[in-house]
Amino acid sequence: MNFKVLVLLLCNLRAILNGLEYKVNGGSHKLPPMLFLGIESSCDETGVALVQTQATGAPRLLSHALFSQIDMHQAYGGVVPELASRDHIKRVIPLTREVLKNAQIDLNQVDVVAYTRGPGLAGALLVGAGVGCALGAALNKPVLGVHHLEGHLLSPFLSDDPPEFPFVALLVSGGHTQLMRVEAVGAYEILGETVDDAAGEAFDKSAKLMGLGYPGGPALSKCAETGNSLAFKLPRPLLHSGDLDFSFAGLKTSVLTQANKLGDSLHDVNTTHKADLAASTEAAIVEVLLKKSMAALKLTGMRRLVVAGGVGANRLLRKQLNEACQKVGVRVHYPELHLCTDNGAMIAMAAAMRVQAGQQAPQFDYSFDVKPRWPLSHILTASH
């Protein structure tokens, strides 16, 4: 018997002993309904949630609670890692109590504790991982470390209109911009990604230099509502590159150049300069995301698009994607608006879907590490 077979056998034995029945790398899985407690603490939001798998169909969200640190970091114009970690420590247990109370679930009923293992801020991740593993050990229940981006990617399955596999995914968060071919849970192929700044970063950095505060995406988008998107000619980086990669660093530089040219008049409330620059910036970012997503759909021949991550909350992006996809008969799915940005529900959901699909077994080993840098490609299954 070779080593791999022995490991698989031991994994299966352990799972069966603990009332789970699953197969590694695909296949059918008859698992009894299980309760997943999800903890997210990778950046500036503490999120906790309870998701329950069902005999048939997608897991469902029983309850979730979130504490956003935005007010605390606003004074600094961005996330201060040390403050973030300290605040996660304060919030995570009260939020867990709140979630259990709202769902009328006793802590002992939780079957699996899931936490965000990375990527993210090391200190912040350690809080969720530490609490998750401590809870698991105290309850003698298994734990599972989840990839934050997979959480975002699978978050549309929590919506009233969940997608079906396969689909093209546009993952647009604060630190990542990727187009992916998604065949199943764990079977993701990166079709293109940003070579420098992420779309969320382009929103955040542009907003900051316009004096719009943090987080920049929603602030810039709000300011853009009354602006003219044709007022400033801004670049659409890599729009005609012929591939599915993105680049947003040059756009930010152009916004800076325009802002410098405007000088004090940018902030003059008697002009529309700020709204115009915001609208022009938003239009540039959205156009690139739109055109590359449509190109990815064309390339793959897929009829379904899933948008996930914080920038997926952007109204203009949703409007333009809806219109373009409707024209070519493609269905678009988004997470619920309040689940676009970081939350515990997506972590519990990703864990539940992974276990249900037999992609990952929860562990009874409570030693943990976190992965501040963790490419999504590292969790792909070799079988797809």
Closest CA to 106 of 118, 97, 117: 97
Q: State in angstroms the smallest separation of the CB of 207 from ligand KG4.
A: 7
Q: Which stretch binds Zn ion (CB under 5 A): 69-77, 153-161, 203-211, 335-343?
A: 335-343
Select 173 or 356, whichever has its Cβ closest to Zn ion: 173
78 contact partners, CB below 8 Å, separation of at least 6: 204, 208, 214
Q: State in angstroms the smallest separation of the CB of 171 from ligand KG4.
A: 9
Q: Is 174 a residue that touches ligand KG4 (CB under 6 A)?
A: yes
Closest CA to 77 of 200, 253, 216: 216
Q: 333 forms bridges with which residues in the sheet? A: 306
Q: Token match 């606003």: residue? A: 74
60 contact partners, CB below 8 Å, separation of at least 6: 51, 52, 54
**What sign does the CA torsion over 171, 317, 231, 274 have?**
negative
Candidates 47, 132, 145, 309; binder of ligand KG4 (CB under 6 A) is 309
Candidates 128, 142, 216, 227; binder of ligand KG4 (CB under 6 A) is 216
Q: State in angstroms the smallest separation of the CB of 201 from ligand KG4.
A: 6
Side-chain half-sphere CA neighbours of 180 within 13 A: 29
DSSP calls for 332-363: EE---GGGSSS-HHHHHHHHHHHHHTTS---B
Q: Is 237 a residue that touches ligand KG4 (CB under 6 A)?
A: no
CA atoms of 320 and 254, how far apart (whole Å): 23
Q: Which stretch binds Zn ion (CB under 5 A): 65-73, 168-176, 242-250, 283-291?
A: 168-176
Other Cβ atoms less than 10 A from the Cβ of 139: the count is 17
The one of Zn ion, ligand KG4, none whose footprint includes residue 200, by CB under 5 to 8 A per kind, is ligand KG4
Q: Is 173 a residue that touches Zn ion (CB under 5 A)?
A: yes
Select 35 or 198, whichever has its Cβ closest to ligand KG4: 198
The one of Zn ion, ligand KG4, none whose footprint includes residue 203, by CB under 5 to 8 A per kind, is ligand KG4
Q: Is 218 a residue that touches ligand KG4 (CB under 6 A)?
A: yes
Candidates 130, 163, 200, 227; binder of ligand KG4 (CB under 6 A) is 200
The one of ligand KG4, Zn ion, none whose footprint includes residue 175, by CB under 5 to 8 A per kind, is ligand KG4
Q: Could you give the C-alpha distances from 179 to 144, 169, 185, 294, 367, in angstroms and in order?
A: 26, 6, 16, 10, 34
Q: Token match 């109204």: residue? A: 315
End-to-end CA distance of the chain: give it in Å, rounded.
Answer: 25
CA atoms of 215 and 196, how far apart (whole Å): 19
Q: Is 142 a residue that touches ligand KG4 (CB under 6 A)?
A: no
Q: Is 203 a residue that touches ligand KG4 (CB under 6 A)?
A: yes
Select 141 or 371, whichever has its Cβ closest to ligand KG4: 371
Task: Please work out the total of residues on this chain that contact ligand KG4, with binding judged by CB under 6 A.
Answer: 19
Q: Is 281 a residue that touches ligand KG4 (CB under 6 A)?
A: no
Candidates 131, 311, 370, 379; binder of ligand KG4 (CB under 6 A) is 311
- The binding site for Zn ion (CB under 5 A) comprises 173, 342
- The binding site for ligand KG4 (CB under 6 A) comprises 152, 173-175, 200, 203-204, 215-218, 221, 309-311, 313-314, 341-342
